[in-house]
Each structure stands twice: as structure tokens, then as C-alpha cells.
Amino acid sequence: MSDTPDLSLDAVRVERGGRALFAPVSLRLGGGELLRVTGANGAGKTSLLRLMAGLLPPAAGRVCWRGAPLAEQRERFARDRLFLGHEPGLKDGLDPTDNLLAATRLAGHPVAPAQAAQALAEAGLAPLRRVPVGRLSQGQRRRAALARLALARAQPLWVLDEPFNALDAAATGWLHGLLRAHLARGGCAVVTSHWPLALDGVAARELAL
Amino acid sequence: MNTPQAPALAHPPVSDARAAEPGLLDGARALFARDLRLAWRRRADALGPLVLCALVIVLFTLGVGPSPAQLTALGPGVLWVAALLASTLPLSHLWADDLADGTLDGLMLSPDPLALLVLARVAAHWVTTGLPLVLAAPLMALPFGLDGAQTLVLMASLALGTPVIALLGALGAALTLGLRGGVLLGALLVLPLLAPVLIFGAGAVQAQAAGLGATPHLSLLGAALLLAAPGAALATAAALRIATE
């Protein structure tokens, strides 16, 4: 096992209802690299991302992290990757602060309340950090979910499904900054997005399904 | 004031000493605390099962009529059926809400064993719905004329039986997660499995009333709980994995 981030897919296939979603995918993603997955609606972007996050076992092929198959290192991989899915993963009845504290503890990377407050302030949610998530707009919910990225320095692999959805220009710039900082630290990221990423100085690889 | 600030480069590094070694139960504790907080924010919802249980009992006594002998004979069974219905119904949404808002992925992604997290959620659910039923039992038992010892046995049987109901209900909800008509199907799957709990729970009070002592019944309920806790948690974890694949 190596210590640098290294996600590799070897002839991986995903099936839905007995039908293969896309041609077998082989790729390798190392530290400092960003992969943007594109494809039409229903092409299997979300399934591929859930597979890379370890939520979906491949129908064929192998997914390896740091040189070993995911199935052999569930706990280690769980601490190394951060997955943000299509739904923000927030409880409507709780405020962004409580959501953030519970989610980071559950992910095995607990943070102090002061750190959570700062992450939410960076997300532009300082005045709303004690307002139940159910009363926030779509974009504000997305910001609250993405605030986890500001606290995810210890997780080298980010897997983000449509993170730019519902974000305004300012929040898009903030997310670009988070991604740039993550890649500069030597992390790697997989992102689905319908628009090209504007990351100065970062070569985003593309995978079209 | 709603504008995101400069990127994360500026903020202090996450303390590594803190992040390095969270205990095995830290995720489960976080989930338990989160669910209790959530239930506290929605206190009115948590009262639902209690009110339902009270309504079933009131309707039943109205239907049977005010004959004390009949009410005393039927009391334990009615109390237990009411408690069974009241604690099964709110369970149907246990995982469906998590699936809809994406927090179920958070459980799957956690480094902690999923069965432990399932136990934490079920425990929080029991504290907010089952425990109030246990505490309200003396009040619910009033129309049936149970004496002090019988009321204590009723509370003990509910304290041992309602966690089993919560565990099996969580399993039923996980097995039918994402299915059309899952709520009804889940209840149909789980209610027959709960027959032993009902028999020993109501039987404990009846045995006490007959002067036989409730210990055997309560022991069997305790055994059911010891069996259900690991068994149902593991099965629920497996069902949740299948449902989210």
C-alpha cells in the first residue's frame, strides 16, 4: 500500500437492472489530479461516482485505493474519502452547525464547534448557522453541505456529485477555491458537472460516459 | 453578508490529535445525540404514538362498556396491543426519511460498523417513542383497574418488549425501503414476528394477576431482547446495503 492518494479503476462495469450502464472504465487518479465526469442524463455518472465512493460494488472489474481493493480496507477507505451525493445529506429539522458536527463525527473526522462555525462562515452562512436547514433555500443547503469540504483536509479523495448545482456565482468561486486548495495539498477529486471547471493552473481530466 | 469568503487556505489546520483516533462508538454516539436533538426539535411528533395508544385504549373501553370484571380481564391484552400498534407505526419512516435527504449515505460511508449505527438509531428512536409509553403505562392502566404490582409488571414488560418491537420494526422498514406500498408491507412482515412479544408481555401481567408470578414471562422477554439486538441490527445493516446499491 502506498501513502500517496491513488484511485484506480480496472475495466469496471456497472449494471442497472441487468443492463450495462457504460463501456468498461479504466483509469488512474493520483495526488493533485482532478477528474471531471461528463455524460448525458442517465449515462451513469452518479452510479460511477457511487462506485468510486465504495457505495456500489462493481459488476465486473476492480476498484483499488492506494493499490488495494476497496473491499479489503473498508474502514481505512471510509476515513480517506469524502463523498457528497446528489442530496445534500442534511437533516431538515437541525441547523447547519448541528448537521455539520454530526456528519463530521460520523465520518470519523470530528471537528470542534469553532471550526464548524468558521467553515460555515466561509460558506457565507454565518447569519444562518442556527436556522433549521428546512428553512434554507436550495443554494443555501448546498453551501451548508459543501462546508464539509472546508474541514476535509484529512481526506485525500473527494467524490462530489453535481456540487455546483444551485450555487450562485460567488459560491461557485468559493468551491473552485476549495478544490484548488485541495489539489494543491496533494489531494485528488472526482466531480460531475455539466459545465467546464474554471480552475486556473489545474488541468482537469475529463471522462465522457 | 451572504457572500462566501476567500478559499480555505486561510483557516487554521484541523487538529490532527483530535481527528486521529475517534473511538469505535464515536459515530454511534454522534448519531444517537443527533436523533435525540432532532426529536427534541419536533417534540409534537414524538407525542404521536403516546396519543395513539391512549386513543386506542379509550375507544376500546368505550366499546366494551363499563363492566369492571370484563375490563380487568381484557386489560393486559388491550394495553399491549395498543402499545404494539403505537410503537410499530412511527417506525415505517425510520429509513425512508434518511434515504430521501441523503443522510443514509452518511451512515454507509462511516468507518464505523453499520450494525452499530443501526443500534444507535433504534436506541434513539426507542428513547423518544418507547420510553414515554413505559412511563405513561400507569396512567394508561387506570381504566382497567390493575393493582400496584400488576402495573409494575406491565411497565417492566413494556420496558423489555418495546425495544424488541423497535428493533424488528427497523428491520421491516429496511427490508421494504424504496418499495411501493412499503409501509403496509413492512407492517405485514413485522407484526406476525411480534406475536411472541405480545404473548409474553400480556402474559406477564395476566400471570401476576393470577398470582403465579411474572418472572418466567419477563425472562423470556429479556431473552428475546438479547437475541433481537444483535440479530436485527446485523440483518437491518444488510438490508440497508442492498436497498442503497
* Domain coverage including residue B232: 25-244
Domain count, chain A: 1
Q: How far is CA A123 from CA A112, A195, B14, in A?
A: 17, 21, 17
Q: What is the pLDDT of residues B211-230, one digit of tens each?
A: 898 999 999 999 999 999 99
Q: What is the pTM of this model?
A: 0.89
* Domain coverage including residue A181: 6-208
Q: Mutate which of A77, A82, A106, A200 to test chain B, going by most B C-beta atoms within 10 A? A: A106
> Which contacts (CB < 8 Å, 24+ apart) does range B131-136 have?
B131/B162, B132/B46, B132/B47, B132/B49, B132/B50, B133/B49, B133/B50, B133/B53, B133/B83, B133/B86, B133/B87, B133/B158, B133/B162, B134/B158, B134/B159, B134/B162, B136/B50, B136/B53, B136/B54
pLDDT for position B4:
52
Residues of chain B contacting residue A127, judged by C-beta atoms under 8 Å apart: 1-2
- Residue B14 — pLDDT band, cuts 50, 70, 90? very low
Domain count, chain B: 1
* 3-class SS string, A106-171: HCCCCCCHHHHHHHHHHCCCHHHCCCCHHHCCHHHHHHHHHHHHHHCCCCCEEEECCCCCCCCHHH
Q: What is the pLDDT of residues A137-186, one digit of tens each?
A: 999 999 999 999 999 989 999 999 999 988 999 999 999 999 999 999 99
Contact check, Cβ <8 Å, A112/B101: no
β-bridge pairing A25-30 and A157-160: unpaired
B8 vs A90, higher pLDDT? A90
Contact check, Cβ <8 Å, B7/A170: no
Residues of chain A contacting residue B31, judged by C-beta atoms under 8 Å apart: 102, 106
DSSP H/E element including A204:
strand A204-208
Residues of chain B contacting residue A56, judged by C-beta atoms under 8 Å apart: 245
Residues of chain B contacting residue A153, judged by C-beta atoms under 8 Å apart: 13-14
pLDDT for position B89:
82
Q: What is the CATH number of the domain that holds A42?
A: 3.40.50.300
**Is any Cβ of chain A less than 8 angstroms from the Cβ of B33?**
yes
Interface of A with B in 88-147 (CB under 8 A): 88-94, 98, 101-103, 105-112, 115, 118-119, 121-127, 132, 143
Is residue B231 over pLDDT 90?
Answer: yes
Interface of A with B in 4-23 (CB under 8 A): none
Residue A1 within a domain: no
Residue A154 within a domain: yes
Cα–Cα distance measured from residue B169 to residue B175, given in angstroms and rounded to the nearest whole number: 10
pLDDT for position B22:
59
Residue B1 within a domain: no
Q: What is the pLDDT of residues A77-118, one digit of tens each?
A: 999 999 999 898 999 999 999 999 999 999 999 999 999 999
pLDDT for position A150:
94
SS3 call for A177: helix
Residues of chain B with pLDDT > 70: what percent?
91
Contact A82, A111 (CB under 8 A): no
Can you tell me the mean pLDDT for B70-85?
89
Contact check, Cβ <8 Å, B117/A106: yes
Interface of A with B in 44-63 (CB under 8 A): 53-57
Contact check, Cβ <8 Å, B30/A123: no
Alpha helices by DSSP H, listed for B128-214, are 131-140, 148-175, 182-193, 195-209
SS3 call for A36: strand
Cα–Cα distance measured from residue A205 to residue A7, given in angstroms and rounded to the nearest whole number: 14
Is residue B16 over pLDDT 50?
Answer: no
A with B: how many residue pairs have Cβ under 8 Å apart?
Answer: 143
User: Side chain identity at B1, as an amino acid letter?
Assistant: M
Residues of chain B contacting residue A181, judged by C-beta atoms under 8 Å apart: 7-9
ipTM of the modeled complex: 0.90
Can you tell me the mean pLDDT for B7-34?
63
Residue B225 within a domain: yes
Residue B9 within a domain: no
What is the pLDDT of chain B when averaged over all its residues?
87
Q: What is the pLDDT of residues A34-79, one digit of tens each?
A: 999 998 888 889 999 999 999 999 999 999 999 899 988 999 999 9
Contact check, Cβ <8 Å, B3/A124: yes
**Is any Cβ of chain A less than 8 angstroms from the Cβ of B30?**
yes
Cα–Cα distance measured from residue A182 to residue A169, given in angstroms and rounded to the nearest whole number: 20
B152 vs B18, higher pLDDT? B152
Residue B4 within a domain: no
Q: Mutate which of B24, B36, B105 to test chain A, going by most A C-beta atoms within 10 A? A: B105
Q: What are phi and psi of A119, to 5 degrees?
A: -60, -40
Can you tell me the mean pLDDT for B34-50?
88
Cα–Cα distance measured from residue A146 to residue B217, given in angstroms and rounded to the nearest whole number: 52
Report the candidate in B54, B44, B48, B46 with the shortest Cα–Cα distance to residue B82: B54
pLDDT for position B12:
40
Instruction: Pick the range with the lowest mean pLDDT from A107-116, B34-43, B44-53, B126-135.
Output: B44-53
The CA distance from B200 to the nearest CA of chain A, in Å, is: 37
pLDDT for position B149:
92
